[in-house]
Structure 1
Amino acid sequence: MVNSQKSKKIAIIGGGIAGASVALYLSEIGLEVSLFEKGTSLVNGPPICHLHAGGNLYREIPDSQCVTLLKESIETLRLFPDSIDYRPTVIAVPKRDSGDALALLPRLKMLTQEYEQLIQQDASNEVLGAPKDYYRLFELEEMQKLAKLDEVAVPSTSEEWMIPIAKHVDLSTLKFPLVLVQEFGWNVFRLGASAALSLEKNPKSKILLKTKVNQLTHTEGKGWKVFFEQNQQESVEYFDYIINAAGFKSGEIDDAAGFHKQRIVEFKAAYVTQWEGTGSFWPEVIFHGERGTPHGMAQFTPYPDNVIQLHGMTEEITLFDEGLIANDKNSAQPKLGKSFLDKIYKGWSLDEVKLRTERAIDYMAEFIPSFSRAKVTDVPLFGAQQIPGDDANLRAAGVSFEDNNYARCEIVKASSVLTCADEITKRLITLGYVNKSVQGCREFAITNSISDEAITQRALTYTKQRGYPSGLAYRNIKQTFNQTELQVSFA
């Protein structure tokens, strides 16, 4: 795959979702990759919980971004199947919201057609179930009938997934119909485990943990000098190509390299709770709302062992006053306030964790009254996220390039990583680093050789190291579509 000339060396700065995934991709096609991460493990950062297979959680984004997210999610699911929680998402519009419950219908129909076309192009793209089952509408009368049925421990049909909603959600607070859509969950701990295990097994990749890049210097004809610090020792190494995947610190790497780019950084948090539940797997549930208002979107994300992750898109819960900030002309790095940096580097005060998690519980209990009995856990999922440009509503974003063999991978939604890696690969093909035959490659032998059990064990290690419940390391249901093993369907 790699050209016969002396192998080129690539430095990827940042071991989050973007950096780890791009490192995995490039090392799988035979390139020599060094991944610099100043943390103690890979894929720390803002919480993710679903693939966004169509972007239906965001009413405000255009259809073009939704199509992009659908394609990217399918590719991501194919690459990281062992990190997927195979459960659907239910989308509801509260009566207090100005939105129309049927407003998503044209988008859903359009996305179904797009999904059908992707399957026609490649049968392996049928990973979200049959196109006819991509979404399903439920009217009030049907929900009232479902409320009389017993819950099923492991749902296998759309109707069975909706039974706990029918029985335990206050339907009087909602507009109808409700929408069940195949927006699957995505487990950040399992993703990190998959990427780390693959990179550790690949002789073409080198992971440098607890390593901080301090300076970059470009020398014509020699590439880049990377000055870095590891274990209190300073070192320097030459690389032919730099990929900036430093997340919310991408601006600092731009500054070090002498480039300027406009971007926003946003600090957000999700809250981890324990809830005895109802004896059944739940779907993810989204209660739409206007972002940043007292009635922002509420998000209920279930995991095994009665663990529930909560978002409430208000400044009292998930969002923060002055937590969204842009850079200025003097630096590519937006300057987050000290309180946010303290949370990232030193941790939260227990009082603030308790306060915000209790607010999230109360917020969700407006729709699921029995959820008021949920318990607070000690550590939220949190982090700062970079958004290229000046549009805080941007969801589909990827890669940008500068002269002197320098690229940025600035994803907003995690499923954009493969699109980002594809674009970088095209540039490397143009430069002669790698043969054209690898373009669009998805046959990742090393990644595919990692067992589900190994991923679970590493994910458990990560949850323990970071102080989270072990339930976040497990998948809800083992399921594959369009394979000989089909344990669950949503027909």
Structure 2
Amino acid sequence: MTKESSKIATTTSPTIGIVGGGMAGSTIALRLSELGINIVLFEASKTLVNGPPICHLHAGGNLYREISDEQCLTLLRQSIDTLKVYPQTANIRPTVIAIPTRDSGSPDALLPRLQKLQDEYATLIKQNPSNNVLGAAEDYFRLYDRESLEALAQKEIPKSAESLDDWMIPVAKTLNLDEFKLPLILVQEYGLSIFRIASTVSLAFEQLTSCTVLTNTRVTDIQQRQDKPGWDIEYQSADNPKESIAVDYLVNACGYRTGTLDDMHGFQRNRMVEFKAAYVTHWSDCQGQWPEVIFHGERGTPDGMAQLTPYPDGYFQLHGMTEEITLFKEGLVASTAKSAQPMLNSLFNRKLTDKWYRDEIERRTAKAVEHVAQFIPPFGNATVAGNPMFGAQQIPGDDPSLRAADVSFDGDRYARAEIVKASSALTVATAIIEKLRDEHLLPAELSIADSEINEQFPVTSALPIDKIISLAEHLAEERSSPTALARPVG
């Protein structure tokens, strides 16, 4: 879906250049172009929203017991807005948190945070009923003790889960409760489909004439304009000669490559980059609909967290927070005084260009299956079902546990999107709109506060779900993933 550069809009509206068409860049472009602002979006890959294996909404950050309560509350608020704008991309199923007896944590330690999140969610619904996108506030989380789990274990697994208890039945029937600290916790942490996100933004851009999307296009240089404020962007599409375009404002949304654009203009910025991978499996003996299940563990050790993310038809995405599965030795690197771009070694650069060796895929997927099967023994029969879902994640600053991050501004008319989680992308877009108004690039009367966030996306909101799913399935096939990963859950 590449538009020729000759079709770039030329009106009195400012032109915003956005480098990087991942979750952040595509969402910013969508947000601004829905307002009629001229956008030129550059993406080096052939399609939009590639990169790290997005699979969670993170409505409260409950997968991360090590992060602050404030980050969790921020992620909750951001996730609500994300669901309102991208409702077609959500997989509506809960997440179960289980703490093994070998782990040092306890369910009681998680309850104060969960109560804060539940109270905040109830407050947000009271302020605006449209914020009720995660179910009733009183059901934001639920505890299951031994008695209730043993009762559920006696029930038949329904083909389709209609209640919170229904989601818990396969868990109760499969887990050895003696191996866990009870209660188990069910929380409304939904899933996100990276393929339906990519499909949604691609279909919307086809209708938004104010946005020019240049895929298969690499930005080779940026320079501040000499004659007026703004930037000259030099770029090259495929084998074509280099071209350039002047823009009034530049947004760096390059993801893990954000430092490369900083280096082009000499901006200093401390950041880290971490390479991660998740593994796609098929469990042919799967019965009923499973929730996501998180088995807590100490990150980076052989007992690191295990994560089972469900998709239709017995397909599952697996994470294991060990160096043999999701994490990698030397996979976390930092910027230096000489460069704002953290440098991964050649092993990761090979993987990032989608050149995994087959034995790597088999070995790491087998380790992931084994890691989950510790707790769900029947899952040991699961098999490799596709290429890993992988990418490098940027983390601004020097705290590797940071999860709620959004945007920073530097120099003249330059913004960096620095999201760690997909749900933060809309916050970046809104902050950039406010910055453009402050710098008088947008009219002061342009109001984004007087209407619902989803009402500011009329084109996106009107997209038919069948078209979104159809294109998502095509994108999944193109990326060597099962089409089941593109279809809705719940």
Same-fold status (TM-score > 0.5):
yes
AA paired with 2:185?
V
1:270-290 per-position Cα deviation (integer Å, ceiling 9, x unaligned) = 000000243311110000111
Partner of 1:380: 388
Partner of 1:154: 160
Query: Is 2:459 the counterpart of 1:453?
Result: no
Aligned pairs, number: 473
Q: Percent identity?
A: 48
Partner of 2:86: 80
How many angstroms apart in 1 are the aligned matches of 2:308 and 2:447? 40
Partner of 1:259: 267
Native 8 Å contact 1:200 1:207 kept in 2: no
How many angstroms apart in 2 are the aligned matches of 1:37 and 1:26? 17
1:387-432 per-position Cα deviation (integer Å, ceiling 9, x unaligned) = 0001000000000001210000010010001111111111011122
Partner of 2:480: 467
**Pairwise CA distance, 1:156:** 1.2
Unaligned stretches of 5+ in structure 1? 478-491
1:342-491 correspondence to structure 2 within 5 Å: 342-436=350-444, 437-440=446-449, 442=453, 443=455, 444-477=457-490
1:47-66 correspondence to structure 2 within 5 Å: 47-66=53-72
How many angstroms apart in 2 are the aligned matches of 1:222 and 1:61? 40
From 102, 106, 130, give the equivalent of 1:100.
106
SS of the residue corresponding to residue 310 of structure 1 reads strand
Partner of 1:484: none
Native 8 Å contact 2:286 2:314 kept in 1: no
SS of the residue corresponding to residue 317 of structure 2 reads strand
CA RMSD of aligned residues (A): 1.1
AA paired with 2:459?
I
Native 8 Å contact 2:67 2:402 kept in 1: yes
SS of the residue corresponding to residue 326 of structure 2 reads coil
Partner of 2:125: 119
Native 8 Å contact 1:350 1:378 kept in 2: no
Query: Is 2:50 the counterpart of 1:44?
Result: yes
How many angstroms apart in 2 are the aligned matches of 1:95 and 1:59? 17
How many angstroms apart in 1 are the aligned matches of 2:447 and 2:17? 20
Structure 1-normalised TM-score? 0.95
Partner of 1:143: 149
AA paired with 2:41?
L
Partner of 2:4: none
Partner of 1:486: none
Query: Is 2:250 the counterpart of 1:236?
Result: no
How many angstroms apart in 1 are the aligned matches of 2:386 and 2:82? 31
Partner of 1:91: 97
Structure 2-normalised TM-score? 0.95
How many angstroms apart in 1 are the aligned matches of 2:58 and 2:109? 18
How many angstroms apart in 2 are the aligned matches of 1:434 and 1:240? 11
1:281-330 per-position Cα deviation (integer Å, ceiling 9, x unaligned) = 11100001111111111000000121100000011100000000001000
1:42-83 per-position Cα deviation (integer Å, ceiling 9, x unaligned) = 000000111111111111001000000000000000000000
How many angstroms apart in 2 are the aligned matches of 1:123 and 1:315? 44
1:251-330 correspondence to structure 2 within 5 Å: 251-330=259-338
Native 8 Å contact 1:170 1:369 kept in 2: no
SS of the residue corresponding to residue 26 of structure 1 reads helix
Native 8 Å contact 1:263 1:332 kept in 2: yes
Native 8 Å contact 2:386 2:482 kept in 1: no
Native 8 Å contact 1:399 1:420 kept in 2: yes
How many angstroms apart in 1 are the aligned matches of 2:387 and 2:317? 11
1:218-257 per-position Cα deviation (integer Å, ceiling 9, x unaligned) = 0241410000001222101100000000001000011112
AA paired with 1:328?
T
Query: Is 2:202 the counterpart of 1:196?
Result: yes
**Pairwise CA distance, 1:476:** 1.1
SS of the residue corresponding to residue 102 of structure 1 reads helix
AA paired with 2:24?
A
**Pairwise CA distance, 1:346:** 4.2
